[in-house]
Amino acid sequence: MLSSSRRALAALAAVLSLGLLSGCAEDAQPAIDTASSSSADPKPTREATATSEETPSPSKSGDTDEDRESEEGDEGRAGSSATGTASAMLDELTVKGRAPKTGYNGELFKWRSDTDHNGCDTRNDVLRRDLTTITLKAGTRGCIVLAGILADPYAGETYDFDRSANAVDIDHVVARSNAWQTGAFNFDEETLKEFGNDPLNLLAVSSSLNRQKGDGDAATWLPPNKSYRCEYVARQIAVKHKYDLWVVPAEKDAMERVLGNCDDQPAFTEDADWPGPGDGDNVTTKEETRPAKQKSSSSSSSTFFENCTAAREAGAAPVRSGDPGYGSHLDRDGDGIACE
């Protein structure tokens, strides 16, 4: 009996022990899952990675302040000049070396042609535009200028113009030779003629300064009148821009130095067109007294100028009737004074 009771108690104790062990196992399970989740769950890492990929890094985006400043700096170096200025127009010109002078001849530009068909040659068009208190030659349909007053922009001086003792030349602001070596050698005949007679590119100036300049560009010659240099360079740039001519490196450097002192010099856009025949400042008309023709000596008859370029290079222009080298082929208007 006692033995049976002990066996029953032992069985009950075993059941109770199993129950306790089962409860302990269930209570411990969440701790095991929690540890597994914290060490192996990839979700937080994936979310961080996605966020990192969706936000461009500074090195890839180029949007940092430092990069933006760098980009703005590069853009400024490419063309930082204010719109509408001569400097901005200069930035648009091609820069490269000078082409050879092979094939150049000033006569190719047909200087003095009546390109605007107003009945007057280009030289007299320039004089009527640039001189004041003008006297025109009677019987020339208001074309030929006998006298006037020139305010020479190159010299910064004002003096009288007298056709019979001419001390005024017409300057090509961009010299024809310079134009030839910076692209004009590719021009067709009509474009050469247009360039040679374009009012934008022509100014009445003193003969001495025009000859001093020769075919120089801004790197080799600038007007002695420093107050005119800004406009002079702006006008050269406008001419080169109009005809798609290039500048050589030294020329561009010189232009930039001049414009650096010009307080945003505007691009040259002034109306440079000619006045009509008979028009001009304070115009009067009178008959011209021709110089008496001189008898050519045998020695003078041996002098020959193929064209006015040759006469000017020899220092003989203007060539008057009776002077050594005078010829009707040089005197286009037949007034006895050639290569004016």
* pLDDT at position 18 over 70: no
* pLDDT at position 290 over 90: no
Q: Kindly report which listed range (35-44, 108-117, 149-158, 254-263) carries the lowest average pLDDT score.
A: 35-44
CA distance 112 to 44: 86
Long-range CB contacts (< 8 A, 24+ apart) of 13-17? none
Q: What is the pLDDT of residue 48?
A: 37
- Looking at the chain, the whole-number percentage of residues with pLDDT higher than 90 is 50
Chain centroid to CA 60: 37
- At 114, is the secondary structure helix, strand, or coil? coil
* pLDDT at position 88 over 50: yes
Most confident region among 15-19, 143-147, 301-305 by mean pLDDT: 143-147
CB 211 within 8 A of CB 245: no
* pLDDT at position 289 over 60: yes
Burial 111-130 (b: 16+ CB within 10 A, else e): bbeebeebebbbbbbbbbbb
The pLDDT tens digits of the residues spanning 235-244 come to: 999 999 999 9
What is the pLDDT averaged over residues 116-140?
A: 93
CB 166 within 8 A of CB 318: yes
Q: What is the pLDDT of residue 235?
A: 97
What is the pLDDT averaged over residues 25-34?
A: 37
Over the Cα atoms of the chain, what is R_g? 44
Q: What is the pLDDT of residue 79?
A: 54
Chain centroid to CA 10: 113
Per DSSP (E only), the strands in the chain are: 131-137, 145-152, 157-162, 168-172, 202-206, 284-286, 319-320, 337-338
Q: Which of 23, 66, 291, 1 is nearest to 166 (CA)?
A: 291
What is the pLDDT averaged over residues 106-131?
A: 93
The pLDDT tens digits of the residues spanning 161-193 come to: 998 777 899 999 999 999 999 999 999 999 999
* pLDDT at position 13 over 70: no
CB 175 within 8 A of CB 196: no
Q: What is the pLDDT of residue 31?
A: 34
**Sequence-separated (6 or more) residues with CB below 8 Å from residue 327:** 304, 305, 338
Per DSSP (E only), the strands in 207-313 are: 284-286
Q: What is the pLDDT of residue 335?
A: 60
* pLDDT at position 324 over 90: no
CB 283 within 8 A of CB 148: no
CA distance 35 to 23: 20
